[in-house]
Structure 1
Amino acid sequence: MTHRFSLRVYYEDTDLAGIVYYANYLRFIERARTEWVRGLGIDQKALREAEGIVFAVRRVEADYLHPAKFDDELVVETSPTVVTGARIILHQEVKRGEEVLFSAQVTVVALSETGHPARLPANIRLLLH
C-alpha cells in the first residue's frame, strides 16, 4: 500500500538560491506520514487519550538525490515495509513527476506517554499491513 501526499514548494521552504533547504524534506515526509495515518482512520489524538500511545521517530536514513526548487509540485510516497508490535519502518520518497529527489527509511516507534516502548493495538497493526 502506497500513500501519496501532494505539496508545492513555497518560498519559505527554500534558501536564497530558491532550492529547498535540506531539513525541510523531513518536514515534508512528516506531513505525509501524518496524512497517511489519518487516511488509515487512525486518530492520533484519540489514541493518545484512550490508550496513552504516541508515535515518535526513532531513526531516519536519508539520501538527497536532486534538489527541489521554489514552486515545484512534489509528491511524497509513503509505504510501510516492516510492522512489528511496537515499530513501523517506512520507505518514503519525495518526487517531482517520476524523478526521485529524496529517499528515506524512517523507523517510527510506539511509546507510552512516559516515553517507554508500547505495543500497538492489534486493530492498528492490522491496518498497517
Structure 2
Amino acid sequence: MVHEFPVRVYYEDTDMGGIVYYANYLRFIERARSDWVRSLGIDQNAMREQDGVVFVVRRVEADYLQPAKFDDALLVRTAVKAVTGVRLIMTQEVLRDETVLFQAEVTIVCIGEGGAPARLPANIRRQMH
C-alpha cells in the first residue's frame, strides 16, 4: 500500500535562493505520514487518551538528491517497509513529476506516559500489514 500526499512549495519553504530549505523536507514527510495515519482511520488523539501511547520518530535516514524550488508541485509517497511489535519502518519519497528529489527511511515507535517505550497497539499493527 502506497499513500500519496500532494505538497506545494511556498515562499516560506525556501531559502534565499528559492530552493527548499533542507529541514522542510522533514515537515513535508511528517504531514504525509499524519495524513496516511488519518486515512487508515487511526485517531491519534484517541490512541493517546485510550491506549496511553503516541507515535514518535526514533530515526530518520535521509538522502537529498535534487532541489525542489519555489512553486513546485510535489508528491510525497509513503509506504510501510516493516512492522514489528515495537517498531514501524516506512519509506518516503518526495517527487516532482516522476523525479525523486528526496528519500528517507523513517523508524516510528510508540511511547507511553513519561516517555517509556511501548508496544504498538495490536489493532494498528494489523492495519499496517
TM-score (norm 2): 0.98
CA distance, structure 2, for counterparts of residue 123 and residue 55 of structure 1: 14
Which amino acid in the other structure matches residue 102 of structure 1?
F
CA distance, structure 1, for counterparts of residue 113 and residue 56 of structure 2: 11
Q: Secondary structure at the match of 2:22?
A: coil
Corresponding residue for residue 98 of structure 2:
98
Task: Give how far 1:77 is off.
Answer: 0.3
Corresponding residue for residue 51 of structure 1:
51
Q: Secondary structure at the match of 2:127?
A: helix
CA contact (8 A) 2:79 2:91 kept: yes
Q: CA RMSD in A?
A: 0.6
Task: Give how far 1:116 is off.
Answer: 1.0
Corresponding residue for residue 13 of structure 2:
13
1:35 aligned onto 2:14:
no
CA distance, structure 2, for counterparts of residue 32 and residue 66 of structure 1: 20
- Report sequence identity in percent: 68
Q: Secondary structure at the match of 1:114?
A: helix
Query: What are the Cα deviations for residues 80-103 of structure 1, in whole angstroms up to 9, with x where unaligned?
Result: 101011110000000001000000
Task: Give how far 1:104 is off.
Answer: 0.2
Which amino acid in the other structure matches residue 21 of structure 1?
Y
Corresponding residue for residue 118 of structure 1:
118
CA distance, structure 2, for counterparts of residue 55 and residue 62 of structure 1: 19
TM-score (norm 1): 0.98
Structure 1 unmatched runs, 5+: none
Corresponding residue for residue 26 of structure 1:
26
Structure 2 unmatched runs, 5+: none
Where has structure 1 moved over 2 Å in runs of 4 or more? Answer: none
